[in-house]
C-alpha cells in the first residue's frame, strides 16, 4: 500500500488526533479494517492525548494485530523508538508500555 495515502486515512487521522472513540468504532471486528501497515502506533505516540489513553489504545491496536507494535515507518523507526523519543508523561505508564512491548514482541524489543 502507498504509505502517503495510509497517513491520510481516516484511521491514521483519528489516531493522530487522539479521537479514541472514533478509532474504537472504526476498528470494531465486523468492520474488517486492517490496522497493519498504517503506522497507527506512531500516530498515537504523536497525539496530544494523555498517557493512560495512549497506553490503552496501543494495547488495543496490539491485541487486534501484534505486527503493529513492530512495524517500521518511512523514517525507519519502530513504535518503541517513537515512545522512547517521546515517552509517556506518567513514568509508571511508560514502564507498563515498555513491558507490553516486551511481552508481545520479546525481550529484545
Higher pLDDT, 3 or 45: 45
Quickly list H helices, 1-109. 3-7, 10-17, 20-26, 40-46, 51-64, 79-85, 91-105
Burial of 74 (0-12, 13-18, 19+ CB in 10 A): exposed
Domain of 84: which CATH number? 1.25.40
Report the Cα 68 to chain-centroid distance in Å.
7
Task: Note down the domain range covering 24.
Answer: 3-105
**497493519: which residue's cell?**
36
**Interatomic CA distance for residues 97 and 41, integer angstroms:** 12
Q: pLDDT per residue over 26-77, tens digit each?
A: 777 654 556 676 788 998 998 999 999 999 999 988 988 899 999 988 889 9
Number of structural domains found in the chain = 1
Amino acid at each position: 500500500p502507498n504509505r502517503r495515502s495510509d497517513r491520510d486515512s481516516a484511521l491514521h487521522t483519528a489516531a493522530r488526533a487522539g479521537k479514541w472513540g472514533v478509532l474504537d468504532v472504526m476498528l470494531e471486528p465486523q468492520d474488517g479494517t486492517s490496522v497493519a501497515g498504517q503506522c497507527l502506533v506512531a500516530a498515537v505516540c504523536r497525539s496530544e492525548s494523555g498517557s493512560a489513553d495512549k497506553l490503552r489504545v496501543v494495547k488495543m491496536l496490539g491485541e487486534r494485530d501484534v505486527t503493529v507494535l513492530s512495524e517500521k515507518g518511512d523514517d525507519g523507526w519502530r513504535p518503541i523508538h517513537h515512545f522512547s523519543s517521546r515517552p509517556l508523561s506518567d513514568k509508571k505508564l511508560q514502564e507498563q508500555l515498555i513491558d507490553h512491548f516486551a511481552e508481545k514482541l520479546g525481550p529484545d524489543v
